[in-house]
Chains A and B, each alone.
Chain A
């Protein structure tokens, strides 16, 4: 297992955001994490990347416990995080944004640059443009591209399709698949459950901070409860 969470509990003051969460992601997988608003999906990703500390439980990455490792060191270990809401550097050019992504000098800069430019040709065209002036979809691409610049072994996506036109969502999902095919393991948080389940190998469903379902994606896609709650089909 590349990533393993064991009985993780996270609190924000009195609020218990995660309770007894255990999940695992294997090398080369795409694993989806589904759940309603406030279920604790982002919190799970933030726990993995060291932005919040669990009060109990362990997080193992590549066999090493990382639940007490600060976030910048987690990046150095090879976990990339594309946070919620297109967090790019608005006043830096596309190229400068990508340079910031390579801040820790993980991997070969020019190789990574060639790679992200071939994944996102539009970024190559706009390399001199300020990040803040890109369209929403382009900004999301830039956020993803930036996280790839640190040659992550595991990439955490937090709702990459949020606010994008359906066609764009397809493109982004296609690119996520390509990223996995090039060898990066992926943990994907999505509201867009149907497409996420079509893309993923396995998935977990989070409800009120607890994992309530875990199975192969194609199995979950057929599950009546999942269909009712997350795939927008009338109550079963």
Chain B
């Protein structure tokens, strides 16, 4: 103990002289705090066991190692920052540079698709559920939000409201709500209604608010997200209130001689989801490279300039917003009919933020980034839960996720797989030119 204390004291002394030593101390102390925070908790009978159990236990070595590693990283960043950045960039863009050829790229996408098709067949039922409820749905949600935030530069903080609208309209059309529809549909035929209702509400919310500057839009959408949740809770006679809605039927099709019912097995939902994810990817990537996508880019970069180039700014903003809303609505429909149960607590603002985080982490404006980022960030906590290393505990998961995000934003602010344009935007922002903000809040409101 005294040896530890004297080492600490001498470290502090040398820290005053050397920035490296100062950083080393900071890293080690930070990680030791983390070790205590994530370690066992104390109890009445052994009040200090939280400390002893964390610090005098082999797991502290892991944290010290991580601390040293972090210090090494930071030191390396300081010493060879530019070179590291270049290497990292070269590595990350390797796939892109290796496949300038369309055919090569198509082969790669086909391989990815094959993986997406085959993986669920080789995992157990638990992971199949995770693949649908935690990964697939969120990948779809991220792809949709990417259109709103990444393409059009609209900060939507109430994205999950449309997911709720999709889920509740599915419940309505399948007759699971206290109020009954004109005719009861099965969940499969509720898909167009769920998508349509979500899209319509996107347009209705968007038309008045998208005239506002970016930061106002964020506030309005945030409020809209809250309102939807509160309405779902309080309008008991219509939505079933805080108790939620039970008995939403699973989808089935009976069309042109094909008859198929989705039951509780997650796999069929996975493939239904996969079809929609692939369709969305193809459609949105097509849009991105069309006139519509160019209009979105222009609006994101400078609304006034876009206007004077003759772009119907409001129309394209509403379009992006509605596309996002309908994607979210479909995800809500699928999840509601798979789980058969929804409640207002499923649609919290935190969820909207989480999806935004997935998009930012993956790389705003990049479809591949949204897919990979969402898949990784949603998979990783479940992986940690299922395969606890070094005594990871469930309730600490978000500490690690938070750390991953903070590190990503420090070392790679443009996200995992940024779009080429976003990369440039961050490059310019680093030189003090332009902004890399999601919002193009540069316009005077048009009265």
Contacts and interface: CB of A to CB of B under 8 A. Distances in A.
B416 interface: no
Contacts of B424: 91, 130
B311 A72 contact: yes
Contact of B309 (A12, A100, A130, A133): A100
Interface stretch (B65-73, B239-247, B272-280, B295-303): B295-303
A49 interface: yes
A164 interface: no
A161 interface: no
B316 to A, nearest CB: 10
Interface in B217-260: none
B86 interface: no
B310 A83 contact: no
Contacts of A82: 308
A24 B380 CA distance: 67
Contacts of A87: 302, 304-305, 308
A57 to B, nearest CB: 16
A224 B431 CA distance: 48
Give the one of B304, B308, B434 with max A CB within 10 A: B308
Chain B interface, DSSP helix/strand/loop, else mixed: helix
Interface in A95-129: 99-101, 103-104
B433 A75 contact: no
A72 B307 contact: yes
B433 A150 contact: no
A143 B421 CA distance: 20
Interface string B287-331: 000010011011001101111111111000000000000000000
Given A87-B305, A90-B302, A100 B294 contact: yes
A44 interface: no
A75 B310 contact: yes
Contacts of B301: 89-92
A90 B298 CA distance: 10
B447 A83 contact: no
A91 B425 CA distance: 6
Given A51-B446, A52-B447, A89 B302 contact: yes
A210 B305 CA distance: 28
Contacts of A38: none
A70 B302 contact: no
A91 B312 contact: no
Contact of A104 (B298, B302, B310): B310
A75 B294 contact: no
Nearest to B299: A89
A100 B304 contact: no
A83 B304 contact: yes
A230 B428 CA distance: 39
B309 A92 contact: no
A81 interface: yes
Contact of A103 (B311, B425, B428, B431): B311
Size class of B's contact patch?
20 to 34
Interface string B175-198: 000000000000000000000000
A88 B309 contact: no
Contacts of A76: 310
Given A13-B447, A89-B302, A132-B433, A150 B428 contact: no
Contact of A90 (B310, B428, B447): B428
B308 A81 contact: yes
Contacts of A137: none
Q: Which of B309, B425, B431 has the most CB of A within 10 A?
A: B309
Nearest to A85: B304
Interface in B388-447: 421, 424-425, 428, 431, 433-434, 446-447
Contacts of B310: 71-72, 75-76, 103-104, 150
A18 B300 CA distance: 31
Contacts of A70: 312
B304 to A, nearest CB: 5
B307 A89 contact: no
A87 B295 CA distance: 15
Interface in A61-89: 70-72, 75-76, 80-83, 87-89
A147 interface: yes
A108 B286 CA distance: 26
Contacts of A49: 308
A146 interface: yes
Nearest to A77: B310
A75 B428 contact: no
Contacts of A90: 301-302, 428, 433-434
- Most chain-B CB neighbours within 10 Å: which of A88, A101, A104, A132? A132
B299 to A, nearest CB: 10
A130 B428 contact: yes
Contacts of B308: 49, 71, 75, 80-83, 87, 147
A83 B421 CA distance: 25
A71 to B, nearest CB: 5
Contact of A132 (B298, B306, B307, B428): B428
A14 to B, nearest CB: 12
Nearest to B312: A72
Nearest to A106: B310
A103 B298 CA distance: 10
Please provide the 9 A-B residue pairs with the shortest distance between their CB atoms, ordered closest to farther. Answer: A75-B310, A87-B305, A90-B434, A104-B310, A89-B301, A72-B312, A132-B434, A132-B433, A81-B308
Given A90-B302, A90-B428, A104-B310, 14 more contacts: A72-B311, A72-B312, A72-B313, A75-B309, A83-B308, A100-B309, A101-B309, A103-B291, A103-B295, A130-B428, A132-B428, A132-B433, A147-B308, A150-B309
11 contacts: A51-B446, A52-B447, A72-B310, A72-B311, A75-B308, A83-B305, A87-B304, A88-B302, A100-B298, A132-B428, A133-B428
